[in-house]
């Protein structure tokens, strides 16, 4: 019996284009702009650190820490293993999150993002429709991280 493996339709280039579309092209109400920027950060953090979307949504700014040589980490509760775990966060992603926290005056001990899974899916669908991408779901961002990590 042959195992069927799904090929990830999300590439680094597509990921960057989706995130840039979320950051630039949604010019509606302040709430819509705020939500699209949060969704972009959630997807960027998932793609760059391998966290599940639910794990990202449960983070607070206090979960981030700085190691030696400007290495950044996030402490999070792994949904599958039910334990506390640490993941590396690229400095560019950390800087984006830091700017977001300072600009939006997010409480450092509360939840970092005030969007839910449904909102993330909705904005991802809108961005993918605008870019004419098909079959991209939220879990593909996490899979992108592990695909890149395994290749390098």
DSSP characters for 42-69?
HHHHHHHH---HHHHHT-BGGGEEE-GG
Model confidence, pTM:
0.85
Contact 46, 53 (CB under 8 A): yes
Rounded Cα–Cα distance for residues 24 and 12 (Å): 18
Give the domains, in start order, of the chain with CATH numbers. 12-150 (1.10.443.10)
The pLDDT tens digits for 91-149 are: 999 999 888 888 876 665 678 888 999 999 999 999 999 999 998 999 999 988 887 65
Rounded Cα–Cα distance for residues 34 and 26 (Å): 9
Instruction: Mention every residue, 6+ apart, whose C-beta is less than 8 A from residue 11.
Output: 144
pLDDT reported for residue 17? 93
| Residue environment code for 43-82, b if the CB has 16+ CB neighbours within 10 A, otherwise e | bbbbbbbbbbbebbbbbebeebeeeeeeebbbebeeeeee
pLDDT reported for residue 4? 47
Instruction: Mention every residue, 6+ apart, whose C-beta is less than 8 A from residue 16.
Output: none
Rounded Cα–Cα distance for residues 18 and 40 (Å): 8
């Amino acid at each position: 019996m042959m195992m069927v493996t799904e090929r990830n339709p999300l590439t680094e280039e597509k990921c960057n284009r989706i995130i840039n579309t979320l950051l630039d092209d949604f010019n509606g109400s302040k709430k819509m702009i705020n939500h699209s920027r949060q969704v972009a950060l959630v997807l960027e953090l998932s793609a760059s650190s391998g966290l599940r979307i639910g794990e990202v949504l449960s983070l607070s700014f206090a979960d981030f820490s700085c190691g030696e040589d400007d290495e950044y980490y996030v402490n999070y509760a792994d949904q599958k293993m039910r334990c506390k775990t640490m993941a590396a966060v690229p400095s560019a992603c950390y800087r984006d999150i830091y700017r977001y926290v300072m600009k939006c005056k997010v409480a450092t001990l509360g939840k970092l993002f005030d969007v839910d899974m449904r909102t993330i899916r909705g904005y991802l669908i809108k961005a993918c429709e605008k870019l004419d991408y098909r079959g991209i779901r939220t879990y593909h961002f996490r899979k992108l991280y592990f695909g890149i990590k395994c290749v390098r």
